[in-house]
Structure 1
Amino acid sequence: MNTKSALLCAAASFALAPMALADAHEGERGRDGQVNIIYWQAPSTLNPFLSGGTKDVEAASLVVEPLARFDETGTIQPWLAEEIPTVENGGITEDLKQITWKITPGLVWSDGTPFTSADVKFTYEYCTNPEGGCAQITKFEGIESVETPDDLTVVVTFAEPNPYPYTAFVGGESPILQAAQFADCVGAAASTCTDQNFNPIGTGPFVVDEFRTNDVISFSANPNYREAGKPAFASVNFKGGGDAEAAGRAVMQTGEFDYAWNLQLAPEVIAQMESGGLGTPVAGFGPLVERIMLNNTNPDPALPPEERSVVRPHPFLGDPAVYNAMSMAIDRPLLVEIGYGQAGRVTCNWVPAPEAFSSTSMTCDTQDLEGAKAMLEEAGWVDSNGDGVREKDGVELRVLYQTSTNAVRQDFQALIKEWWEEIGFAVELRNINASVFFGGDAGSPDTFQKFYADVEMYANTFNGTDPQAYLGNGLCDKAPTPATQWQGENISRFCMEEYDALWNELAQTADLSERQRIGKELNDMIVQNGGMIPLVHRGRLSAHANDLGGIKLNVWDSELWNIADWYRTGN
C-alpha cells in the first residue's frame, strides 16, 4: 500500500465490509408501534445547514442522510454511497485532488422520486452560496467543483491536494437535501423557507408528519425506505423541551419515554434514576468538551446591530493576562466532581479526542487564585477605588457570562462567578432556554451564535475521528455576522493569520503523524491566544428503556444514526 493509501485508511478508520447491524428482528415495517424520544433541548429546525445545534442535527438525521457516516466505533461506513472511495480502489486520485462517490442504485426520496447526483451537487451549491448563511460551511472548505457525469456519480474536485476528503456529504452534519424541494431556498432565501426547513423530504427511515418548533415533532415510517422491514417503529413521538432531569426520569423512572438524550446531570442523580428499574443509562467518550468561549469582538448593547459582536477588539478579553487569569482561577477537578463524576475528565484542550490528536502541552488541573491575582496586578489591572473590581485605562473587568438553562451549567456558573469575583472581576450571570440558545434563529438576540455577552459556556463536538473540519471553525472567515445570517461556527470570532496558515497546511498534509502534530498545534494556538477556556471533557450520557433494542450509542455521529435498527424487545 502506498503512503497516500495508508494515510487515507488510517485517517478515516474505514472498513469496506458491511456494517454490523444491531439485532435484526425480521418482520413488517412499523410492527412495533411508536417509539417516544425526548430531547430536553427542543429542535428549532430540521435543516442541519441552518443550525449548529446538535439537537437540530440529530432530529434531522431521522429524515435526511449523507453519502457516508461514522458508526459507533468511529469507523466511516457507506450510507447512500456504494463504498468509501480510496486511492486503492480508484475512488480518490493519486494527487489527492479528486474524490468520486458512487451512489447506490435504486435509491428514492420519501416522495418516491429518484435520489441522484444532482441532489448532491445542489447541496454543495446550497451551502456555499455567498448570499446565504450555512452553519456547516467548513465541511465544504477547499472544494473547487462538484460535477455529476451521470445520475449515480459525484466527482468532487479540490483546489489543492486533500488528504482527508471525508467531510462534505459525510456524517449527520452534512446530509443531502432534495434539489427539487429546496430549489427556491438558495442564498438569502434559505432561512425564509419554513415549509422546507421544517418538513424536509429525505431518504431516511422516517418522514415528518408535523413539526411544532421548540416543542414536538411527529414522524412516521418512510414507506419508500430502502431496507425491507425497517424501521420497526411505525411512528416517532419526538418531544423537545423541559430539562435534563425530567427527561431522565421520563425514561428510567416513569417509562413515559423510550430514549432520553444528553442527560447532563450530576452522577448521584443518574444513579437514583437508574434505581427506578425501567431504563438504562449509556455513556461513551468522544470529542465533546464543555468550554467557555471568549468573545473576541465587542458585545456592547450600545453598538448598532451591524457592529455588535462584530467590531474588534473586545474591551479587555484580548489581554493574555486577563484570559489566562480567568482560566487559572477555575477549579476544574471540582467541576468534574460535582457535574459529571466518572462521565467527565479535566481537559485543557478544544480537541481532547481521539487521543492521537489530543495535545499534552498544557496543564490546568490545579486552581491558582493567588497566581491569577498576581498576573492581573502585574499587567496593570488594579482595584483603585476599593469596590472589588479591577480596572485599567478606564475599563473595568465586568463580565456578562451566559449559558443555556441546565442544573449543571448553573452550578458551574455560580462557582466560576465566585472564583472570578475573588480575583477582581464583576460577573453578571445569564441563562437562556436551551432550545432558543442553540436554535440558530437569525432574528433572536439570544442565540449562542450571536454571542451578545462577554463569555458563554456550552459544549459541542464533531463527526468522525479527524478534526480537520472542526479545527476549521477557528478560521477568520467562519465568524457569524449579519452578512451570514449569523451562521458560522467560529463562535468566539477568533482571528489569527498564523492559525489560518497552519490550518491550510493541515488541509494539505498527507502524513498521519504530521497531521496529528499540526492538529495539536492548532488546538494549542486557539486556547493559548484567547479563543476559549476548555473545562471538562464530557462523556455523552443518554438513557434508553429496558425494552428498547438496537441501541448503539454513537459519540462520533448522530446518536440516532441507526434508529432504523431500533426495535421493541418485548421484555
Structure 2
Amino acid sequence: MKHRKTWMALLLCAALLLSGCAGKQEDAKEETSQKVLNFGCQMYDDGSVNTAMAISSSWNCMRYGISEALFRFDDNMNVEPWLAESYTVNDEHTQWVITLKKDIKFSDGCPLTPSSVKAYFDYLKEVGPGGSAKPQKYLEYEAEVTADDAANTVTIVTSKPYANLPGQLAYPVMAILDVEHTKDFDNGAIGTGPYMIDKFNGVGVGYDMKANPNYREKVPYDKVHILFMGDASAKTMALQSGQVDLVENITNVSDIQNFQQDANYTVDIASGVRCGFSWMNLNGVLGNKTLRQAILMGIDNDTICSSKTIGGLYTAGFSVLPSTLSYGYDKLVNPYKYDPEGAKKLLDDAGIVDSDGDGFRELDGKKIDLRYVSYENRMLNDFSNAHMQYLAEIGIACTADFGSSDDQWSKLAAGEYDLNNNNWTTVGTGDPFEYMANWTTDGTYCGYSNPEYDALYEQLKGEMDTEKRADLIRQMQQIVIDDALVIVDGYYNSSMIYSKNVGFAHIHTADYYWLTTEIVPA
C-alpha cells in the first residue's frame, strides 16, 4: 500500500500548489473517477525501455504497452499483422512489401508512416552495434529498406532468402518508435501502444503510465501504475494487501494454489515456450566433456520438476527446445539420464577423484568448485540450489553467485561463470532460428564451437521447406545434447494473477504482451 499512498500524496500536493484548496478537491475527485490499474512486475535492465540498447529493455517497452511491431504472435505462435495490414513476398523470399494500417498514430500524435518505420530501422542500424540488441540478430542478412509514403508501404530486400521475416519483425527489438521526437529512449520512448509514459519513478520503483489519447481504440484504463517487485513473495503480499490489482509470474507453488482456491482471485496460466537452462562455460574447468557428462548424469531433473517447490510450473525435459514444439523431441535420445553411481564411475575412470579426502574431486590437481550464477525469477535459484545439492553428492563443489537478472546477463556476456542459470523464450521470432544461434561459433556465450552444428545452422538460414527446417533443428538439438552443453531445468509455464478489481487479464504464450487492451476493469 505504501507506493499507492505515495503517488496519491504527490498528486494532491501538486494540485494544492497549482490551484489551491478548491483545485485540490477537484483533482482528487477527478482521480477517484478515473480507472486505475496497479500492476506489480519484475524489473529488468533497471526498467529501461530503450529498445535498441538491450534486449530486455525492448521487452519492457512492449510489455508495458508502449511499443507495437509490424507483426505479432497469437497464442499458437502464428504470425499475424499488427501495425501492418498485409504483406507480399516474392518466390525467392528476398523481397517483402509490407502495407501499413491506415490512420495509426504515435502517442505524441505524429502519424505512423512508412518513412517513420524506415527511420526506426535506420536508427537500429546506427546505434545497434553499440548495444546488445544488434539489428543483424533480427534482420540476419544485409537488408535494404525503402519507404513509399504515397503507397503506404515498406519494402525490405534481403541479400539471402528469409523463411520467416514477419516473425523476425514481430520481435520486441523491432517494435516501431517515433525516433524523430523521442528525446529520452531510456525512460521516455514514444510508441503506438495503448499506454504512454507519464513519469519514470526510478530504478526499483516503477512507472506512472497513462492512456494514449491517440490510440486507435478505446483504452481500458486512464492510468496504470507499474510497481517493480523483486521476487514472488513481494508480488503475493502486494496482491493480497490490495497494493496491486494484477501481477505476473508468481513462482511459489503454494501461493499459486492458494490464489486458485480463492474466489477473490483469478489465475491465468499459459503453456509456455520458455526453456530454463544453465549454460556450462567451456572456457574453464567445464571444458572437460567427461565432467559435463557426469554433471548431467548426477542431477535428477524429473524429481526437481515434480517437487513441492517447482511442481506444476515447469515440465521436465532434456533438450533446449520444449517437448510441446514440433521439432522432433520424441526422436531425440538422452544419453545422460539420472545415474549418480554411473556419474561417479565416469569421473573415477577419468581420474577426476577426491585425492585429499575433503569430499570433493579435483581436476588437474585443483579442487573443482563451480561458480554458479543465478537470479531470483521463474524458480531459477531453486533449480540452482537443487543442482548444487545433487552435484555435492557426486563430489563436485559449487559456490552460489546469486544476484539480479542484470548481474546474470552481464556475467554471461563476460564469460564470468562456470554455470549460469537463465530462462529463454525459444521461439521468440516464431521459430527457433535466432535461439539456436546460441550454440554457433559466432553466437555462443559458452565458448562452444562445432563445425557440424555451424554447418546445420547455415543450412537452416536458407531452407524454406517447413519439414526440412524441423529436421535440421532436430539434428542441432541432438548435437547440443550429445556434447553436454546445458543443464535443462525444464519448460516454464507463465502466469498472470489478478483480483476482483480486474475484469479480465491474459498471459500470452509469447511473453511480450503484458499491458494490453484485453486487460479491463471489473
Bigger Cα displacement from structure 2, 387-396 vs 215-224: 387-396
Q: Is the contact made by 2:439 and 2:448 (CA closer than 8 Å) also made in structure 1?
A: yes
Aligned partners of 2:259 and 2:38: how far apart in 1? 18
Bigger Cα displacement from structure 2, 127-136 vs 287-296: 127-136
1:302-321 correspondence runs (5 A): 314-321=283-290
Aligned partners of 1:420 and 1:82: how far apart in 2? 53
Superimposed CA distance per residue, residues 467-490 of structure 1 (whole angstroms, 9 cap, x where no aligned partner): 222223333333xxxxxxxxxxx4
Q: Is the contact made by 1:69 and 1:557 (CA closer than 8 Å) also made in structure 2?
A: no
Match of 1:291 among 251, 256, 277: 277
Match of 1:236 among 224, 227, 252: 224
Local SS of the residue matching 1:155: strand
Deviation at 1:196, TM superposition (A): 1.7
Deviation at 1:31, TM superposition (A): 7.9
Partner of 1:104: 101
Aligned partners of 1:506 and 1:269: how far apart in 2? 43
Aligned partners of 1:367 and 1:475: how far apart in 2? 27
Match of 1:425 among 392, 396, 399: 396
Deviation at 1:238, TM superposition (A): 0.5
CA pair 414-466 structure 1, distance change in 2 beyond 3 A? closer
Partner of 1:220: 210
Deviation at 1:420, TM superposition (A): 1.1
Gaps of 5+ in 1: 1-29, 86-90, 183-192, 297-313, 441-445, 479-489
Q: Is the contact made by 1:346 and 1:535 (CA closer than 8 Å) also made in structure 2?
A: yes
- Which one-letter code corresponds to 1:232 in the other structure? P
Deviation at 1:523, TM superposition (A): 2.2
Q: Is the contact made by 2:496 and 2:506 (CA closer than 8 Å) also made in structure 1?
A: no
Aligned partners of 2:115 and 2:66: how far apart in 1? 19
Partner of 1:19: none
Aligned partners of 1:409 and 1:104: how far apart in 2? 41
Partner of 1:200: 189
Deviation at 1:92, TM superposition (A): 0.3
Match of 2:327 among 357, 365, 385: 357
Deviation at 1:518, TM superposition (A): 0.8
Aligned partners of 1:163 and 1:31: how far apart in 2? 50
Aligned partners of 1:273 and 1:254: how far apart in 2? 13
Deviation at 1:550, TM superposition (A): 4.0
Partner of 1:470: 435
Deviation at 1:365, TM superposition (A): 8.9
- Which one-letter code corresponds to 1:568 in the other structure? P
CA pair 280-373 structure 1, distance change in 2 beyond 3 A? same
Partner of 1:454: 418
Deviation at 1:34, TM superposition (A): 0.8
Partner of 1:377: 348
1:246 aligns with 2:244: no
CA pair 128-378 structure 1, distance change in 2 beyond 3 A? farther
Number of matched residues?
483
Deviation at 1:451, TM superposition (A): 4.6
Partner of 1:49: 52
Bigger Cα displacement from structure 2, 469-478 vs 256-265: 469-478
TM-score (norm: length of structure 2)? 0.85
Partner of 1:15: none
Partner of 2:465: 511
Superimposed CA distance per residue, residues 439-476 of structure 1 (whole angstroms, 9 cap, x where no aligned partner): x6xxxxx5544352211112121435422222233333
Note the aligned Cα RMSD (angstroms). 2.6
Deviation at 1:542, TM superposition (A): 2.4
- Which one-letter code corresponds to 2:489 in the other structure? L
Superimposed CA distance per residue, residues 483-510 of structure 1 (whole angstroms, 9 cap, x where no aligned partner): xxxxxxx443433333232112112112
1:91-490 correspondence runs (5 A): 91-129=88-126, 131-135=129-133, 137=135, 138-150=137-149, 152-181=152-181, 195-211=184-200, 212-227=202-217, 230-251=218-239, 253-266=240-253, 268-296=254-282, 314-338=283-307, 339-352=309-322, 354-360=324-330, 361-363=332-334, 366-405=337-376, 408-434=379-405, 436-437=406-407, 448-461=412-425, 462-463=427-428, 465-478=430-443, 490=444
CA radius of gyration, larger in = 2
Deviation at 1:354, TM superposition (A): 4.7
Q: Is the contact made by 1:249 and 1:273 (CA closer than 8 Å) also made in structure 2?
A: no
Aligned partners of 2:33 and 2:98: how far apart in 1? 34
CA pair 358-213 structure 1, distance change in 2 beyond 3 A? farther
- Which one-letter code corresponds to 1:82 in the other structure? E
CA pair 531-139 structure 1, distance change in 2 beyond 3 A? farther
Aligned partners of 1:406 and 1:175: how far apart in 2? 25
1:559 aligns with 2:510: no
Aligned partners of 1:507 and 1:382: how far apart in 2? 44
1:489-568 correspondence runs (5 A): 490-560=444-514, 563-568=516-521
- Which one-letter code corresponds to 2:37 in the other structure? V
- Which one-letter code corresponds to 2:248 in the other structure? W
Deviation at 1:325, TM superposition (A): 1.0
CA pair 458-557 structure 1, distance change in 2 beyond 3 A? closer
Partner of 1:186: none
Bigger Cα displacement from structure 2, 121-130 vs 513-522: 121-130
Aligned partners of 2:454 and 2:64: how far apart in 1? 31
Aligned partners of 1:60 and 1:74: how far apart in 2? 17
CA pair 550-143 structure 1, distance change in 2 beyond 3 A? farther
Q: Is the contact made by 2:372 and 2:418 (CA closer than 8 Å) also made in structure 1?
A: yes
Deviation at 1:315, TM superposition (A): 2.6
Q: Is the contact made by 1:82 and 1:104 (CA closer than 8 Å) also made in structure 2?
A: yes
Deviation at 1:203, TM superposition (A): 0.6
Deviation at 1:208, TM superposition (A): 0.6
Gaps of 5+ in 2: 1-31
CA pair 552-545 structure 1, distance change in 2 beyond 3 A? same
Aligned partners of 1:226 and 1:75: how far apart in 2? 23
Partner of 2:5: none
- Which one-letter code corresponds to 1:124 in the other structure? F
Local SS of the residue matching 1:498: helix
Local SS of the residue matching 1:399: strand
Superimposed CA distance per residue, residues 150-196 of structure 1 (whole angstroms, 9 cap, x where no aligned partner): 362211122222222223321434311323146xxxxxxxxxx8x22
Aligned partners of 2:349 and 2:466: how far apart in 1? 42
Partner of 2:36: 34
Which structure shows the bigger proportion of residues in helix conformation? 2
Superimposed CA distance per residue, residues 269-304 of structure 1 (whole angstroms, 9 cap, x where no aligned partner): 3212444442111112121111111123xxxxxxxx
Deviation at 1:382, TM superposition (A): 2.1
- Which one-letter code corresponds to 1:159 in the other structure? S
Superimposed CA distance per residue, residues 511-532 of structure 1 (whole angstroms, 9 cap, x where no aligned partner): 1111111112222223433432
Aligned partners of 1:559 and 1:491: how far apart in 2? 27
